[in-house]
């Protein structure tokens, strides 16, 4: 069982790591991922051991509020995000109102101006209000954290500000002039400002998913009992007839049954130009109709539609973790206790060798500068923005692990037919070498091939239909895996296959003619009647218009390219040379492709495979990163890690660019997150960083990380 939960109350990497740890330890839970950026948890569990309510109870005991999500409720998430931003804004404004007078006291003092609120009692009153109205959320989070025997950002902020506040009360009681009320108040105010800016920036990382969700249609016009009816999208059923008028957004996936259309599919496939559709063509829900009116029959509804699958895959990717994030999580788990120990030693050393005032101020600076907020945001924000940006380009990346692996790819294997080529084979030459008429030969070929679903069979059958050849039902039929077909008609054995299978069977054929046709770059099928070769079919497949450009881009990234095909060596060489592919392997059966993948993997860091057919599924699964193109089968799509929603392999180059850009951003984020802490802590220990400056730097670090991730929106 796999469920998603929306989480409220997480403030830093330690929070998400703690909740993930707590959930993972529960009996029956096999895996838990908690994402700080999206405030969501994904839990895979055995419902016979632990229930959904039990999981919600665990989340509550850990100090957080959880909401179960059967499907992603964008409105609910947006509502909670807005509520959090509003709450932070309110607390920040209240804190700012009372912190500013405290902050201004020292400037007035330096100018020799006395203000009434410089009095210790006024400072105490203002600081107390900030502690109550601004600091309540940190105390609440700290108490929950300590109850579960862990430490998070709230513990550090609470300890630091409370120490300054209580020490100031003590000094006030003994008439000591050293008061630090302004430090506690300003730190809380600055941290709230940072959290507010962080919340707003995180909100922007969810915009792409929100936009995808907004593509859904609320109402649809259907034809029922011969009448037009407007119904809710929730009432739409499979096999309903939908009427689409000019400019309308399609309600669901289906197939056109009447009329023609020019449909803008950019929001789904990334294809900028409208796509012309006619009767029999598939249409995608949430795309936009052009100037015509047409009808289509619904084939998918609800969570099975293309848009729902896109949102689900983007959601899965955003909820997953890249391996690099696990390092950050491990560090966050031990970081806060280590910082608390450093802060205590700082206080102890300064108190012994100098004075308590210096000790407490420097230790507060250590506690505040070390808050690990940015560490927890470094990876998930970048993954979320990158996968959403990819989805807008018609590329579905299944997880953070895939994104990271794809960034390391240094070799790619391409299937040929349907991937580098259009996959629409056409019979370009038919040669009859028998005494039978052309029509009689085509009748036998058509009757045998028409029962096969292979692209080559379709090319021969289509040619025969165009010639108005009469079809006859074969008495027997056998599809020979990856080799051809065998049938029986008019008590004659009909075999259509390539020269390799004919060699296996010991059937003679015209090798000179075969070589001539192969040298022209065609795939050649020989037909034999009763074990005697009688005709030759030359079949060709045109290259995709953007294949050459895409291969050039991929090679420019320093990636080695391979082509794996079941076609003959001559055809393979011809295609490889035209596209500039580095190496090719030809005449491969599915098991041979798998062996080639395993062999090539030994010589590279990460290997990707791009394919579209059933026979590519094992290779896609075996490669480090599997790509499937839109024209591929459901099996290939299921086996792949990255799905291209259009038939352009330009999407491979785009996915590689985005993956590399995302990993670069993640590394930059982790650098800055560590930089602030590693550099800031020594400065704080040495007294070169005041608590207020520490609060500013800590707040800025989180905003810096999220803003840096948002740069991916423009890649």
* Residues that are catalytic: 415
Answer for the pair 14, 372: CB distance below 8 angstroms, yes or no. yes
Structure tokens at 506: 């010991």
* Cα separation, 508 vs 299, whole angstroms: 48
* Cα separation, 534 vs 276, whole angstroms: 41
* Cα separation, 185 vs 130, whole angstroms: 6
User: Is 122 exposed, middle or buried, given 0-12, 13-18 or 19+ CB atoms closer than 10 A?
Assistant: middle
* Cα separation, 212 vs 207, whole angstroms: 9
Answer for the pair 291, 246: CB distance below 8 angstroms, yes or no. yes
Answer for the pair 384, 318: CB distance below 8 angstroms, yes or no. yes
Nearest to 4 by CA among 30, 48, 39: 39
* Cα separation, 493 vs 483, whole angstroms: 16
* Cα separation, 217 vs 288, whole angstroms: 11
* Cα separation, 652 vs 615, whole angstroms: 20
Longest distance between any two alpha carbons in the chain, whole Å: 120
Q: How far is residue 601 CA from its own chain's centroid?
A: 24
* Cα separation, 318 vs 209, whole angstroms: 10
**Backbone torsions φ then ψ of 242, nearest 5 degrees:** -105, 135
Give Cα separations from 227 to 253, 309, 705 (angstroms). 21, 31, 56
Answer for the pair 43, 21: CB distance below 8 angstroms, yes or no. no
* Cα separation, 122 vs 124, whole angstroms: 5
Structure tokens at 687: 């007294």
* Cα separation, 43 vs 68, whole angstroms: 11
**Backbone torsions φ then ψ of 559, nearest 5 degrees:** -100, 130
Question: Could you tell me if residue 359 is left (phi over 0), alpha (psi between -120 and 50 degrees) or otherwise beta?
Answer: alpha
> Who contacts 48 (Cβ-Cβ below 8 Å, separation ≥6)?
28
* Cα separation, 715 vs 708, whole angstroms: 12
Answer for the pair 490, 496: CB distance below 8 angstroms, yes or no. no
Give Cα separations from 425 to 413, 421, 428, 641 (angstroms). 22, 9, 9, 28
User: E strands of 503-594, at which residues?
Assistant: 523-529, 532-540, 560-564, 583-585
């Amino acid at each position: 069982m796999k469920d998603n939960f929306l989480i409220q109350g997480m403030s830093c990497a330690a929070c998400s790591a703690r909740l993930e740890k707590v959930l993972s330890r529960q009996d029956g839970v096999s895996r838990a991922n908690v994402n700080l950026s999206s405030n969501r948890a994904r839990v895979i569990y055995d419902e016979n051991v632990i229930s959904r309510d039990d999981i919600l109870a665990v989340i509550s005991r850990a100090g957080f509020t959880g909401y179960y999500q059967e499907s992603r409720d964008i409105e609910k998430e947006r509502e909670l995000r807005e509520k959090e931003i509003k709450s932070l804004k309110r607390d920040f404004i209240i804190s700012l109102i009372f912190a500013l007078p405290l902050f201004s006291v020292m400037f007035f003092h330096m100018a020799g101006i006395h203000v009434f609120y410089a009095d210790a009692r006024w400072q105490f009153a203002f600081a107390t209000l900030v502690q109550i109205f601004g600091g309540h959320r940190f105390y609440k989070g700290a108490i929950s954290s300590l109850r579960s025997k862990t430490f998070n950002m709230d513990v550090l902020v609470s300890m630091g500000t409370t120490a300054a506040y209580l020490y100031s009360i003590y000094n006030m009681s003994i008439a000591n002039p050293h008061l630090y009320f302004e430090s506690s108040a300003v730190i809380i105010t600055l941290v709230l400002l940072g959290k507010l800016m962080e919340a707003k920036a995180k909100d922007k990382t969810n915009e792409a998913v929100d936009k995808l969700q907004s593509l859904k249609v609320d109402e649809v016009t259907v034809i029922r009992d011969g009448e037009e009816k407007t119904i809710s999208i929730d009432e739409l059923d499979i096999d309903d007839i939908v009427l689409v008028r000019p400019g309308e957004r399609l309600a669901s996936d289906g197939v056109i049954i009447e009329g023609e259309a020019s449909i803008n599919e950019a929001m789904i496939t990334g294809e900028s130009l409208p796509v012309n559709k006619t009767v029999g063509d598939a249409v995608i829900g949430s795309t936009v109709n052009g100037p015509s009116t047409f009808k289509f029959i619904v084939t998918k509804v609800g969570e099975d539609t293309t848009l729902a699958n896109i949102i689900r895959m983007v959601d899965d990717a955003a909820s997953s973790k890249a391996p690099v994030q696990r390092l950050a999580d491990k560090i966050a788990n031990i970081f806060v206790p280590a910082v608390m120990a450093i802060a205590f030693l700082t206080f102890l050393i300064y108190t012994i060798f100098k004075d308590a005032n210096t000790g407490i101020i420097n230790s507060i600076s250590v506690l505040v500068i070390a808050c690990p907020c940015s560490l927890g945001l470094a990876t998930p924000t970048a993954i979320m923005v990158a996968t959403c940006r990819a989805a807008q380009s018609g590329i579905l990346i299944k997880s953070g692990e895939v994104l990271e692996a794809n960034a390391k790819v240094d070799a790619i294997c391409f299937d040929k037919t349907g991937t580098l080529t259009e996959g629409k084979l056409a019979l370009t030459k038919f040669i009859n070498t028998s005494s039978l008429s052309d029509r009689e030969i085509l009748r036998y070929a058509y009757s045998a091939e028409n029962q096969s679903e292979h692209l080559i069979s379709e090319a021969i059958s289509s040619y025969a239909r165009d010639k108005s050849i009469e079809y006859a039902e074969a008495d027997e039929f056998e599809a020979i895996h990856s080799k051809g077909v065998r049938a029986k008609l008019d008590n004659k054995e009909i075999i259509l296959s390539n020269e390799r299978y004919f060699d296996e069977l010991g059937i003679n054929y015209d090798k000179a003619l075969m070589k001539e046709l192969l040298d022209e770059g065609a795939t050649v099928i020989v037909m034999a009647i009763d074990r005697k070769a009688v005709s030759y079919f030359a079949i060709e497949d045109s290259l995709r218009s953007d294949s050459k450009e895409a291969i050039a881009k991929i090679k420019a990234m320093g990636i080695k390219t391979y082509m794996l095909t079941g076609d003959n060596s001559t055809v393979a060489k011809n295609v490889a040379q035209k596209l500039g592919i580095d190496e090719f392997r030809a005449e491969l059966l599915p098991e041979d492709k798998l062996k080639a993948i395993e062999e090539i993997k030994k010589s590279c860091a990460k290997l990707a495979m791009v394919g579209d057919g059933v026979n590519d599924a094992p290779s896609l699964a075996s490669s480090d990163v599997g790509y499937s193109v839109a024209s591929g089968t459901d099996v290939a799509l299921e086996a792949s890690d990255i799905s291209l929603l259009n038939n352009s392999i330009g999407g491979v180059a785009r996915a590689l660019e985005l993956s590399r850009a995302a990993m670069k951003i993640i590394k930059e984020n982790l650098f800055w997150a560590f930089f602030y802490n590693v550099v800031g802590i020594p400065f704080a220990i040495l007294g070169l960083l005041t608590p207020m400056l520490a609060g500013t730097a800590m707040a800025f670090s989180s905003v810096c990380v999220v803003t840096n991730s948002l740069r991916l929106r423009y890649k």
